Amino acid sequence: MIDVGNFSLVAAWLLAAFGLIGGSIGAKKNNAALIRSAANSVHLCAFFAMFALFLLAVAFVNHDYNYVYVWQNSNNAMPAMYLVSAIWGGMDGSLLLWAAIMCAFSSLVLFRAKGVQRDLMKWVTPVLSGASGFFLFVTAFLTNPFRTVPVGRIFEDGNGLNPLLQNPSMVIHPPTLYIGFTGFVVPAAFCIAALLSGELSDNWIRVTRRWTLVAWGFLTAGIILGGNWAYIELGWGGFWAWDPVENASFLPWLTGTAYLHSVMVQEQKGMLKIWNVCLSVGTYLLTVFGTFLTRSGVVQSVHAFAETDVGWVFLVYIGVGSALTIGLFWYRRVELRPEQKLESYLSREAAFLFNNLALLGICFATFWGVMFPIISEAATGEKAVVGPPFFNQVNVPLFLALLFLMGVGPLIAWRRSSIKVLRKTFLKSFLTGSALTLLFLYLDPTRVLAAVSFGLSLFAIMTVESEFRRAVKNRRALCDEESIPTAMVQVVRRKPRRYGGFLVHLGIAIMAVAITASSTYKIEKDISLVVGESVEVGRYGLTLQDVRKDKHANYEAIVAEVAVSSKDDGVLLEVMQPERRAYVVNEEVTTEVDLRITPREDLYLAMAGLDIAAAKNPDGSHQTIDLKKTPVLLKVFINPLQVWLWFGGVVVLFGTLIVVCEGFLRPEYSAVRETADSRVKA
C-alpha cells in the first residue's frame, strides 16, 4: 500500500504537469489533439488524487502505524468517526485533502463545460492543471502523508488526534471549508483564461456563476461550522475571537461576497470589469494565503499546525499568481474598460459599488490586523499584539454600513432612481428601524452601536419582507385560488436568483441581530461550588448536585451534575453535565461544555477544573481529594439569542441553495441557457 499511495500522488502530479505544459502548448498552437490530451489528463489526475486520499483513509481505519502520519494522528482507542477526521487532522493529510478536492473540481468543470466557447476552454485546462499541480507537488514532495516510520521501529499504538479536534463538527468542518476554498479556483481559472484568450465578454462570468455560488456556500457553511466548533469545544463562551486563522477564512469570504455582487453589475451594465478580474483571482489567492498562515508558523492559533518549513512555497505561488494576473491585466487593459459610466449615485450599481468598498474595507482592516504583529516583529524585533478591540473598532461601523446597503441595494433601480421612489420604497422600513434604534438608545444610551445594529437589521428584514409580500400579493391577484404558501413557492420558483438572494440577506440580518445581542448583553460569571451549594446567575438558580469520575477507552473525565432551576419559582428546568477530560495517550486536558438552548438565550456551563488549593491541609500539604468536598470551578455564560445565529446561517445556506438550483427550479431557464451557450459556442 505504501508504494501504491506514493505512486498515486506522483502519478497525479505528473498528469497535472502534462495538463499545464501540454495544455499551454496546445492552446497556443491551437492543436486539438494536445488540447484533448490535456483535458483527459485532468480527469486521470483527479482519479489518482482521490485514490491516494482513499488509501490514506484505509490506513487510518486499519491502524496502519507504518505511516508516520497515521501514528501521529490516531490511536487504537479512538472512535471510528474520529479516525475519519484524523485524515485531515494534521498538515500532511489536510493538504492531500485540499489537492484531491481541487483535482476533483477541475475534472468536474471540464466535464460540465463541454459546450462552452472553445477558445476560452482551451486555456482553462492548463490553468486548472497548474493550480492542481502546485498542491500535488507540495503534497507529494514536501508533506507526503505516506512517509514511513524508520526501519526497525514497530508501533502497536499511535499518539492520537489532538483532543480539541475530537468533536463531531471537525468531521465535516474542514472538508466543507476546503471545498469552499478550492472551489474559488474555478472563477479564477476562467478569468485568467479569458485574459489569455482575449475573450473578455461576460461569458466566463455566466459559465462560472454556479461554481462560484457553490464555493461561496461551502465556505460560508465551513465558517459557521467552525464558529460552532469554537463555541462548544473551547469553553470560553464565544464563537469568534478574530483569531488569525479564523480571519484567514474570513478574508476570501469577504472578497468572494464582493465578487458575487460585482459580476451582476458587469452582466447588466458592462461595468466593473477590472473589479471582477481582481476579485476573482484575489479571492483564490487569499485562500492560498490562509493555507500559508496555518502552515508557516508565523501566527499562533489553536487552529494552526505546528511550525514547518513549507510556508515559503505558498508565498512563491501567491507571488507568481499575482504577477501573472497583473501582467495579463496590463496587457488587456484596453479591453477591460467599462462599457458604460455610472450615471447616478442613486442606482443599484452605485449601491453595489459602495457595498464592495465596505467589504474590501473590512478585508483590508482584517488583513492588516493579521499581518501587523509579523510586520512589527520584522521592523522592531518585538511582536505587537492586535486583539479583538482593534477589529471591532474598525470593522463594526463598516458592517453597519453593509446592513444598510443590504436593505437598499436589491430594491433600488438600475441606472438611476429618485428621492420620491426611494421614499415610497423604503420609508416604512426606515422609520420602523429608526424607531427601534431610538427605543434601545432610550433604554441604554451607552450602547449606541448595538442600538444602530438592531435598527438596521430590522430595516433589512423589513425590506425583504415587503418585497416577498408584494410579490405574493401580485401572484395571488393573478391566481385567486392559490394559498399564500403556494404563491410564495411559485414566486421563488419563477425568480430563484432574485428571491434566493433575498433569503441570503434575510439570514445575514438575523445573524446580525444574534451577534449584536450575544456580544453586547452577555452575562459572564465564574463560580465555585461544593456539592449541595447553590448560586444565582441571571434568571437561573444553579445547584451542584454531584461530581463523579467517568472512565472511557480514550480519556478519563470529571463530570459535574448541575441542577438548573428558575430563579423566580424554583421549578427544575434541566440537569446539565459539563466535563473536564484528560486524554490518556497524549496527556492533554480539554473542557466539554454543556448547553441549555432556548430561543431566548443559551445557558452555557464550562468546568474550569477543581479548586485544588482548597483541598490542602492547613500546613500546606495535600490531602486526598474528595470530589464531594472539593470546590468545582465553573464558568457560566448566558448568551442572548445565540441560537438565532445558527438559524440565520441555515437561512443563508438555504437561500444560496435556491440560487444554485436555478436551472432545476425554473424549467425555462434550461432552454434559455442552451440558446445562450449555442451563441457563445458560435
Which pLDDT tens digit goes with each residue over 401-413?
Answer: 999 999 888 888 8
| CA distances from residue 426 to 44, 338, 411, 440, 608 in whole angstroms, order as listed | 54, 30, 9, 21, 50
Which SS3 state, helix, strand or coil, does residue 412 take?
coil
**CA distance between the termini of the chain:** 49
The answer on 173 and 151 residing in a single domain is no
490: left (phi over 0), alpha (psi -120 to 50) or beta: alpha
Q: What is the DSSP string of 354-398?
A: HHHHHHHHHHHHHHHHHHHHHHHHHHHSS-----HHHHHHHHHHH
| Residue among 460, 272, 296, 477 at smallest CA distance from 354 | 272
| Residue among 371, 46, 362 at smallest CA distance from 182 | 46
356 is a domain residue: yes
Backbone dihedral angles phi then psi of residue 602, each to the nearest 5 degrees: -105, 130
Which SS3 state, helix, strand or coil, does residue 528 take?
strand
648 is a domain residue: no
pLDDT over 60 at 667, yes or no: no
DSSP 8-class letter at 629: T
The answer on 236 and 201 residing in a single domain is yes
What pLDDT does 662 receive?
A: 80
Report the alpha-carbon distance of residue 349 to residue 269 in Å, rounded.
8
505 is a domain residue: no
The answer on 133 and 245 residing in a single domain is no
The answer on 90 and 193 residing in a single domain is no
What pLDDT does 373 receive?
A: 81
pLDDT category, 149, cuts 50, 70, 90? confident
The answer on 231 and 176 residing in a single domain is yes
Report the alpha-carbon distance of residue 354 to residue 338 in Å, rounded.
17
Question: HEC states along 331-342?
Answer: HCCCCCCCCCCC
Quote the number of domains for the chain.
3
Mean pLDDT over all residues of the chain? Answer: 87
pLDDT category, 621, cuts 50, 70, 90? low
Domain of 151 in residue numbering reads as 1-160
The answer on 195 and 142 residing in a single domain is no
What pLDDT does 221 receive?
A: 96
What pLDDT does 1 receive?
A: 47
- Region 200-229: mean pLDDT is 92
The answer on 77 and 147 residing in a single domain is yes
The answer on 103 and 59 residing in a single domain is yes
* Identity of residue 644: W
Report the alpha-carbon distance of residue 423 to residue 368 in Å, rounded.
39
| Residue among 649, 650, 587, 583 at smallest CA distance from 82 | 583
Contact 655, 502 (CB under 8 A): yes
* Identity of residue 364: F
The answer on 142 and 72 residing in a single domain is yes
What pLDDT does 669 receive?
A: 47
- 432-446: pLDDT as tens digits: 999 999 999 999 999
pLDDT category, 623, cuts 50, 70, 90? low
* Distance from chain centroid for Cα 546: 39
Which SS3 state, helix, strand or coil, does residue 157 take?
coil
Return the H-helix or E-strand segment holding 213. helix 203-233
pLDDT over 90 at 537, yes or no: yes
The answer on 247 and 361 residing in a single domain is yes
The answer on 87 and 180 residing in a single domain is no
Q: What is the CATH number of the domain that holds 71?
A: 1.20.120
Report the alpha-carbon distance of residue 266 to residue 249 in Å, rounded.
26
Return the H-helix or E-strand segment holding 566. strand 555-566
Cβ count near 512 (within 10 Å): 25
Quick one: what percent of the chain has pLDDT higher than 90? 54
pTM: 0.92
Q: Mean pLDDT highest for which of 75-79, 415-419, 662-666?
A: 75-79
Which of 142, 160, 178 terminates a domain? The answer is 160
| Residue among 602, 464, 511, 454 at smallest CA distance from 223 | 511
Question: HEC states along 577-600?
Answer: CCEEEEECCCCCEEEECEEEECCC
Report the alpha-carbon distance of residue 448 to residue 550 in Å, rounded.
48
pLDDT category, 679, cuts 50, 70, 90? very low
176 is a domain residue: yes
The answer on 310 and 253 residing in a single domain is yes
- Within 13 A of 521's CA, how many CA atoms are on the CB side? 18
450 is a domain residue: no
Residue of 296 and 176 predicted with greater confidence: 176
465 is a domain residue: no
| Residue among 626, 637, 636 at smallest CA distance from 558 | 626
pLDDT over 70 at 181, yes or no: yes
| Residue among 448, 573, 460, 453 at smallest CA distance from 506 | 460
Report the alpha-carbon distance of residue 151 to residue 140 in Å, rounded.
21
Which of 145, 160, 175 terminates a domain? The answer is 160
What residues does 540 pair with on adjacent strands?
A: 537, 566
What pLDDT does 119 receive?
A: 82
Return the H-helix or E-strand segment holding 586. none
Contact 557, 610 (CB under 8 A): no
463 is a domain residue: no
| CA distances from residue 571 to 2, 55, 568, 600 in whole angstroms, order as listed | 61, 55, 8, 18
Contact 27, 37 (CB under 8 A): no
370 is a domain residue: yes
What pLDDT does 410 receive?
A: 81
Q: What is the residue whose three cell numbers read 463545460? A: 113
What pLDDT does 104 receive?
A: 95
Which of 144, 160, 176 terminates a domain? The answer is 160
Report the alpha-carbon distance of residue 378 to residue 602 in Å, rounded.
43
